[in-house]
């Protein structure tokens, strides 16, 4: 009786199920490649963790649309942000513009 052991090449490839599609593999061949690529970018941003501005740990996770929460035990802050990412590009632009205008105002005084 010989024991059946999988080959080492099979074990090396077991964790990697998709080469390109990643998280959007669940859609199969539906909806078109371009839409799946857009959804992939959004879903990766949605499921990733972000750094907390209060405690500094990378513990902020998405609870629901636009609601983000720090899962650090001592922090536990809830933040309003973007629907799929914590800081949207337009919010970053607005924040930098406000900062620039505020510095210009203080210099004028």
Q: What is the pLDDT along the chain (109 residues), one digit of tens a residue?
A: 555 555 555 555 566 788 889 999 999 999 999 999 999 999 999 999 999 999 999 999 999 999 999 999 999 999 999 999 999 999 999 999 999 999 999 998 7
Q: What is the rounded distance in angstroms from the CA atom of residue 108 to the CA atom of residue 77?
A: 36
DSSP string covering 23-91: GGGGGTTTT-HHHHHHHHHHHHHHHS-EE-TTT--EEEEEEETTEEEE--TTT--EEE--SSSSS-HHH
Decide if 68 contacts 81 (C-beta within 8 A).
yes
Q: In 3D, which of 100, 101, 99, 81 has the Cα closest to residue 91?
A: 81
């Amino acid at each position: 009786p010989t024991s059946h052991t999988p080959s080492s090449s099979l074990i090396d490839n077991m964790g990697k199920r998709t080469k390109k599609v990643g998280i959007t593999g669940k859609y199969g061949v539906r909806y078109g490649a371009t839409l799946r690529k857009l959804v992939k970018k959004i879903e990766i941003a949605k499921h990733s963790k972000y750094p907390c501005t209060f405690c500094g740990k990378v513990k902020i996770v998405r609870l629901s649309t636009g609601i983000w929460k720090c899962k650090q035990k001592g922090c536990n802050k809830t933040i309003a942000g973007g629907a799929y990412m914590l800081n949207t590009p337009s919010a970053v632009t607005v924040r930098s513009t406000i900062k620039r205008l505020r510095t210009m105002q203080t210099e004028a005084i």
